Structure 1
Amino acid sequence: MVDIEVIRHRLALLSEYIADLEAEKEIGLKDFLADKRLRRYVERTLHLAVESCIDIASHIISDEGLREPRDNKDIFAVLGEAGYLPEELAKKLMKMAQFRNIIVHDYARLDAEIIWGILKRDHGDLKHFMLTIKKLLGIS
């Protein structure tokens, strides 16, 4: 059985990160590229948000006794296979997990335009994940 309080706490953090990203999503590319601190802030906030999703998913997998994921990317495939996530969302989150790996392990090759693109068009996938998990577990 899923420990709702653990998930609720992680969802609260995720909600905060999503709100922080949404506050920055209207910035234009030129301004984004010109502001090193903002780029680092957005990069780190995206990283924390993806880590939160991984954490939440890992708790569900463990608590529900689902198959052991091979890596962070596979965590979302496991939730998709088990019916916890729609297939399309699982695929998008798998890409976010890959992005997280680049942030953590290959940060020297990060492209600011890619980060800006994720901020503009992909951060909604994090919110979709949060709302899906809340609905699934009956958390308001």
Structure 2
Amino acid sequence: MVDEGLVRQKLALLAEYLQDLREVEGVTTEEFVCDKRLRRYIERTLQVAVEACVDIASHWIADQGWREPASYRDIFVVLAENGVLSTEQAGVYQKMAQFRNILVHDYAKIEPEILLGILRRNLSDLEEFLKRIASLLHGGNWQ
């Protein structure tokens, strides 16, 4: 049985991270490049937001007894294989998981322009994941 309380807690954290990112998404390129604390704040908040998605998905997969994912990227493939996400959506979230790995392991190589672009263009992907999972949870379709 799925631990709905845990999932709700992770969804609340994800919503909080998204709100935090929305508050700084209007930062100018100059401010972003010149303010290393702001950059680090955005990097870390993006990282934990993606990790919240991974945690939620992993919990769901384990609860359902679906095949064990081979990697963070594969988690979203498993969701697509079982009809939770479309193949297209899974591809988007695979890229997010890959970006999370870069943040964690290759943080010195992150181009500020790429990070700023993700902040400006990809928060809606995280919001869609939150909405999708919340909808399934509230709709009683959490199998």
**What residue number does 1:56 align with?**
56
Query: Which region of structure 1 is more displaced relative to structure 2, 102-111 or 8-17?
Result: 102-111
TM-score by length of 1: 0.95
Q: Which runs of no fewer than 5 residues in structure 1 stay unpaired? A: none
**What residue number does 2:106 align with?**
106
User: CA separation in 1, counterparts of 2:137 and 2:114?
Assistant: 33
Q: CA deviation at 1:108?
A: 1.5
Aligned length: 139
**What residue number does 2:115 align with?**
115
Q: CA deviation at 1:26?
A: 1.2
User: CA separation in 1, counterparts of 2:97 and 2:132?
Assistant: 18
User: CA separation in 1, counterparts of 2:6 and 2:39?
Assistant: 30
User: CA separation in 1, counterparts of 2:22 and 2:82?
Assistant: 30
Q: CA deviation at 1:3?
A: 1.5
Amino acid in structure 2 at the alignment position of 1:119: L
1:14 aligns with 2:14: yes
| Superposition misfits of 4+ residues, deviation over 2 angstroms | none
TM-score by length of 2: 0.93
User: CA separation in 2, counterparts of 1:18 and 1:90?
Assistant: 20
Q: CA deviation at 1:58?
A: 0.2
**What residue number does 1:94 align with?**
94
Q: Percentage identity across aligned positions?
A: 53
1:114-135 Cα shifts (integer Å, max 9, x gaps):
1101000011111100000000
1:15-60 Cα shifts (integer Å, max 9, x gaps):
1000001111111212211111110000000000001000000000
Q: CA deviation at 1:86?
A: 2.5
**Pairwise CA RMSD of aligned residues?**
1.1
1:64-101 Cα shifts (integer Å, max 9, x gaps):
11111000000011111111112222111100100011
